[in-house]
Amino acid sequence: MTERIEIPIEGMDCAECTLHVQKAITSVPYVLSADVLLGPEKALVEVENPPEDLALIRKAVQEAGYSVPLSQGVDVSPAGADFTSKVMRLFGLVFGVVLFIVVVGEWMGLFERITENIPWYIGLGFVLVTGYPVFMNVIRSALRGKIIAHTLTSMGLLAAVAVGEWSTAAVVVFFMRIGDYAESFTAERARRALKDLSALAPQTARVWRGGQEIVLPIEEVEINEVVIVRPGEHIPVDGEVLEGQATIDQSAITGESMPVEAGVGSKVFAATLAQLGSLRIRATHIGQDSTFGRVIQMVEEAEAHRADIQGIADIFATWYLPVVAVIAGLTFLFTRDPLATTAVLVVACACSFALATPMAMMASIGAGAKRGLLIKGSKYLETLARANVLLIDKTGTLTLGQPRISAQFSLNKAWPDDELLRLTASAERYSEHPLAEAVRKAARDRDLPLSEPQEFVSLPGMGLRARVDDRALSIGSRRMIAPDMDIPQADSLEAQGKTLLFVQIDGELAGFLAAEDSLRPEIPTALSPLRARGLERIELLTGDNKRTAASLAENLEVAYQAEMLPEDKIAVVKDYQAQGKVVVMVGDGVNDAPALAQADVGIAMGAAGTDVALEAAHIALMREDWMLVPQVFRIAYKTMRVIKFNLGFTAVYNIIGLSLAAVGMLPPILAAAAQSMPDLGILANSARLLKQD
């Protein structure tokens, strides 16, 4: 039996750590695969018939130099964040002071006098003690036949001690540890968004059981149980309001600060806050199955979907270390200068290549989660930044998804308007399509009694067939019901952008209903920056007829394709991909889920509480706000700019540092100070993404 388990991991503070842990876990016989995530500090492991205690996995992780805690606690208090900020400032101060001392001390020759008066073995002992964690990591990696970023630096340390430059070695150790701590704290800041979200997950619920209110751990609440929420309490489950009315703060799910009103029949979500009013809720989803639980899980697992550019950085870092070793060898061969050779080894910094991509991606994904942007992986941000075709669904995406019947025409005297509407609403009684609800509402407004359909067959993208009161009804688009008929009234309404439902009764056209849905008011404003980004094509895909589609497309100044079935939308996506285009699809995840999944990046609008949209889309917008679309594009572009700068800065910095060290212009002590500068620069640059607009 195959299952997927989560294992918390302690001690990881860099991208290389995750690779070490992953290799250790996958060496266990019953482990099929493992994704090790630095952000949430855990491993997602696929195992086959595992023992209950998982002792082999725990042992493998420990032998790799890390640990599996018996229980996992997360400090998410503001005080913890303040402490982190204070420590980072302290490290910055200490770093500056030490750097100043190093530069001035080298210029005045102080370090030579220090090393002359202190025995080498004392200096060596100091270096070994202070650099113990780094050296042990290097040794463990070497025993596994692996070279890591600190391997060459450690060789430089030994070389510095060997030539009597133990003060250089001490400075190298100091800056290595400063860099490691800075990386750890920056990673913690990137994790903070996720931990802040996780802290909102309710741990208990007040339920009505056995005729009384009792408080239970959230895992003991059952589906369909009645949950009671009082003013000022977080809603513990996803569910439907049975009684009461309240103002709900849904920012934990949607990122929207404005509260919404919830009453009988409203859907509510776990981790949202009932600010005013009390509610009795029927639980529909609990714990990890709730919308909030799934959001947390998807954000945590986003790190497993690595961007292609990360692979390039990994390859570069892998080849960089041997190249530096060759440069150091050539330096000694041509100069016979052990100090210059030592400086080459010391100044080389491979950590920055490993940090360049994951820190930036982690920051952007975490910042997006707090704004209601669920980005399932860094590779989707990278792909989004390269997109050149944007395809858009209509109903529920460009429109509000709340159509209403605005006109009705009976074309057969045997079926007057009210009877035509009654039969149509009866046939649509159990349909989930937005137009079906519009028909039912129109019938309710006229107090028309509905019949129970004896048969019901849905035809996706076309309409439906049903039997009501022994009448055979077909309801759908012109393409389905009356493809070749000339109907002036229908032509006029379609030209106005309205959607028509044609009704056929017992094989004869009985009439049609006209529905209209309001365009989201922010659409024109949202499309403007997308055009400015250089998208080659923005295209509307809709099942509506050509006249309706043309009217809407003309208003928005976009291309269009009409009368499309779900499979037609998939074909359009595949066609653009065959042309080498990078395709982004925006939809609501209802009938366009396959196209969302097929697109290079599928973006689902208003995905909160929509299982299909959350599963199919690569990026989920948790509230129905089209301004989030250009925002997620902006995040993608900014993230890639930061990553490219990180990689370029690292490459140029290392080339200059190696060149200066090889010709003897950068003494070992200054090389020691210089080797951690790229790390700190990349961390600071990536941290900017935590506060994106």
Question: Is 428 domain-assigned?
Answer: yes
Going by their DSSP bridges, the two strands 389-393 and 238-244 should be labelled as: unpaired
Q: Report the pLDDT averaged over residues 408-416.
A: 88
Question: Is 539 domain-assigned?
Answer: yes
Q: Which CATH number goes with the domain that contains 470?
A: 3.40.1110.10
Output the six-digit token pair for 103: 């530069």
CA 455 to chain centre: 43
Question: Is 6 domain-assigned?
Answer: yes
What are 323-333's pLDDT values in tens digits?
Answer: 888 998 999 89
Distance CA 683, CA 11 (A): 19
pLDDT at 445: 92
Q: Which residue is listed with tokens 């309706």?
A: 548
Q: Which of 90, 64, 177 is nearest to 675 (CA)?
A: 177
Question: Is 291 domain-assigned?
Answer: no
Question: Residue 690: is it exposed, middle or buried by C-beta count within 10 angstroms (0-12/13-18/19+)?
Answer: middle
Whether 89 and 58 map to the same domain: the answer is no
Whether 447 and 480 map to the same domain: the answer is yes
Question: Is 111 domain-assigned?
Answer: yes
Whether 84 and 183 map to the same domain: the answer is yes
Q: Which of 403, 311, 27, 321 is nearest to 148 (CA)?
A: 321
Question: Is 480 domain-assigned?
Answer: yes
Residue at which a domain ends, from 469, 492, 516 = 516
* Contact status, residue 676 vs residue 385, Cβ threshold 8 Å: no
* DSSP-H helix ranges across 67-148: 78-108, 110-117, 120-130, 132-143
Helix-helix angle 291-301:358-370, to 10 degrees: 170
Is the pLDDT at 149 greater than 70? The verdict is no
Whether 537 and 591 map to the same domain: the answer is yes
Whether 391 and 264 map to the same domain: the answer is no
Is the pLDDT at 223 greater than 70? The verdict is yes
Whether 145 and 55 map to the same domain: the answer is no
Question: Is 295 domain-assigned?
Answer: no
pLDDT at 468: 94
Whether 265 and 317 map to the same domain: the answer is no
What is the model's pTM? 0.71
Whether 112 and 239 map to the same domain: the answer is no
Strand partners, 246: 262
Question: Is 663 domain-assigned?
Answer: yes
Q: Which CATH number goes with the domain that contains 50?
A: 3.30.70.100
What are 503-517's pLDDT values in tens digits?
Answer: 999 999 999 999 888
Whether 549 and 631 map to the same domain: the answer is yes
Distances from the Cα of 457 to the Cα of 441, 463, 591, angstroms: 21, 9, 16
- Choose, from 393, 517, 625, 679, the residue flagged as catalytic: 393
> In this structure, which amino acid lies at residue 352?
S
The reply to whether 393 belongs to the active site is yes
Whether 304 and 185 map to the same domain: the answer is yes
Range with the poorest average pLDDT among 75-79, 433-437, 525-529: 75-79
Q: Which residues contact 338 (CB under 8 A, 6 or more apart)?
A: 159, 162, 163, 332
The domain containing residue 262 runs over which residues? Answer: 222-285
Whether 157 and 58 map to the same domain: the answer is no
DSSP, residue by residue, 457-488 = EEETTTEEEEEETTEEEEEE-HHHH-TT---H
Whether 510 and 523 map to the same domain: the answer is no
Q: Which CATH number goes with the domain that contains 227?
A: 2.70.150.10
Residue at which a domain ends, from 592, 620, 636 = 636
pLDDT at 423: 94
Q: Which of residues 657 and 115 earns the better pLDDT score? A: 657
Distance CA 337, CA 331 (A): 8
Residue at which a domain ends, from 516, 535, 552 = 516
Range with the poorest average pLDDT among 3-7, 43-47, 207-211, 313-317: 313-317
Distances from the Cα of 502 to the Cα of 49, 221, 427, 454, 462, angstroms: 56, 47, 13, 20, 11
* Contact status, residue 298 vs residue 614, Cβ threshold 8 Å: yes
pLDDT grade for 110, boundaries at 50, 70 and 90: low
pLDDT grade for 336, boundaries at 50, 70 and 90: confident
pLDDT at 639: 93
Q: Report the pLDDT averaged over residues 190-203.
A: 66
The total of structural domains in the chain comes to: 5
